[in-house]
């Protein structure tokens, strides 16, 4: 880990001047008129964390703070915190209660099927007014985009398995979340989301080790006392909690060595290409919701091998995944993976981030009519790795990333220009 950090600052010394002096900013392309004032909720991805964790280092901004920036500009923005390594389903349920308030109810059927507690934490709610008359915009990075899609699906379609289980077991009760017919989300925006899976997740062991390294990197970047590092895996429903005086490294090892990783109700089974293909069969693109996606690429093609390699500005912790994804192919045992999957942002192939396969989609072009029920995907943004999208560029280790403030402000500007209900 020390080598990773040292590499970060070595690269920083040689490229910081170039990044600050010659980095391109996205131009504000359109004249937009605000038509709604719905709140924006940021949802983190795999290994993410909340605003009150990690000694103040923000998932959404690093040394910067995208939520605070948007609020200062007159928008209404919130940041959610859900299980960093939990399954997409569990995260979606947690997200509902984190926004609305109440005690997390994963569902009696789901809890019995996977062997964890039915109930989780209790939240006061960051936006208790949330309902059909007070909809929201959801912005998700990485797995956060999948979580947002799953939440929209639960809200609108409900959960037939939970409904059937409750009908057969009247005393068990049923959360209103699983009733469906809740059209509470106006738009979903995904950023670097593996809609069709990440080939880096094809090996459970590789991904779990990467998660551990990523958490350790975050701990180092936060600059606080490592033993007291305030990072929460939020696995209460699995019976895993950090002891009052437990050293963080002991807590981390206990989580990483736990048998929960073999459960299908964990993140690693949602993130590979087979899991994503399964999820895309039941996660609908709903006709009354606006969908947008932003995709980054941090690799270039090696002229000798044809494989993709990370460019010099790629965050060091993204280099190994970028190389793996940039050369991985498969013709058996799952979705066909060829060279079209090689361009990537360091963790997600660009082809996977644009939109879910077999769902309606169209390239976003300024001035064109934006339609609901279709994925409006933006052109691929080059020199943009998976951590850049969070504001954690190499330069941002020592300086706030103002360019990303501009990016998220522009995203917010477009969302509030959508017609109100």
Active site residues: 142, 345, 386
Interacting residues of 6 by C-beta distance below 8 A, sequence separation 6+: none
User: Rg (Cα) of the chain, in Å, rounded?
Assistant: 21
How far is residue 125's CA from residue 105's CA, in Å, rounded to a whole number?
14
Dump the DSSP string for 191-255: ES--TT--GGGGSHHHHHHHHHHHHHHHHHHH-S-GGG------BGGGTB---TT--HHHHHHHH
How far is residue 351's CA from residue 270's CA, in Å, rounded to a whole number?
17
**Structural contact between residues 274 and 335, judged by C-beta atoms closer than 8 angstroms:** yes
**Structural contact between residues 391 and 62, judged by C-beta atoms closer than 8 angstroms:** yes
- DSSP letter, residue 26: P
**Structural contact between residues 311 and 388, judged by C-beta atoms closer than 8 angstroms:** no
Alpha-carbon dihedral angle through residues 57, 61, 63, 64, given to the nearest 10 degrees: -130
How far is residue 98's CA from residue 122's CA, in Å, rounded to a whole number?
8
What's the CA angle centered on 236, arms 93 and 230, to 5 degrees? 105
Residue 102 phi, psi (nearest 5) = 120, 180
Residues paired with 309 in a beta bridge: 300
What's the CA angle centered on 55, arms 312 and 65, to 5 degrees? 65
- DSSP letter, residue 354: H
């Amino acid at each position: 880990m020390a080598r990773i950090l040292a590499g970060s600052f070595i690269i920083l010394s040689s490229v910081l001047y170039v990044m600050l002096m010659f980095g391109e900013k996205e131009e504000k392309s359109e004249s937009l008129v605000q038509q709604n004032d719905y709140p924006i909720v940021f949802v983190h991805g795999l290994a993410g964390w909340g605003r009150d964790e990690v000694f103040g280092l923000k998932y959404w901004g690093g040394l910067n703070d995208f939520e605070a920036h948007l609020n200062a500009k007159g928008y209404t923005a919130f940041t959610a915190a859900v299980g960093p390594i939990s399954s997409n389903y569990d995260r979606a349920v947690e997200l509902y209660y984190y926004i609305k308030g109440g005690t997390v109810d994963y569902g009696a059927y789901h809890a019995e099927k996977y062997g964890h507690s039915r109930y989780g934490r209790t939240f006061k709610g960051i936006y208790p007014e949330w309902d059909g008359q007070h909809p929201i915009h959801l912005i998700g990075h990485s797995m956060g985009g999948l979580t947002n899609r799953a939440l929209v699906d639960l809200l609108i379609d409900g959960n037939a398995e939970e409904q059937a289980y409750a009908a057969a077991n009247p005393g068990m009760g049923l959360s209103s979340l699983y009733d469906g017919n809740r059209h509470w989300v106006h738009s979903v925006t995904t950023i670097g989301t593996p809609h069709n899976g990440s080939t880096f997740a094809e090996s459970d062991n590789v991904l779990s080790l990467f998660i551990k390294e990523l958490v350790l990197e975050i701990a180092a970047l936060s600059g606080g006392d490592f033993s007291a590092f305030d990072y929460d895996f939020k696995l209460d429903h699995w019976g895993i909690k950090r002891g009052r005086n437990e050293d963080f490294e002991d807590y981390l090892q206990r989580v990483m060595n736990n048998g929960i990783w073999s459960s299908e109700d964990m993140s690693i089974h949602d993130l590979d290409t087979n899991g994503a293909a399964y999820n895309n069969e039941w996660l609908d693109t709903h006709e009354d919701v606006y969908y947008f996606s932003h995709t980054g690429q941090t690799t270039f093609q090696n002229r000798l091998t044809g494989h993709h390699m990370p460019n010099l500005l790629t965050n060091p912790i993204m280099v190994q995944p970028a190389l793996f994804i940039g050369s991985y192919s498969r013709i058996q045992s799952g979705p066909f993976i060829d060279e079209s999957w090689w361009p990537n942002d360091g963790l997600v192939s660009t082809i996977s981030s644009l939109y879910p396969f077999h769902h309606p989609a169209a390239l976003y072009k300024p001035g064109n009519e934006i339609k609901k029920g279709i994925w409006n995907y933006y052109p691929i943004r080059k020199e943009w790795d998976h951590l850049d999208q969070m504001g954690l560029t190499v330069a941002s280790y020592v300086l706030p990333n103002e360019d990303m403030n501009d990016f998220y402000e522009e995203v917010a500007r477009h969302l509030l220009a959508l017609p109100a209900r």
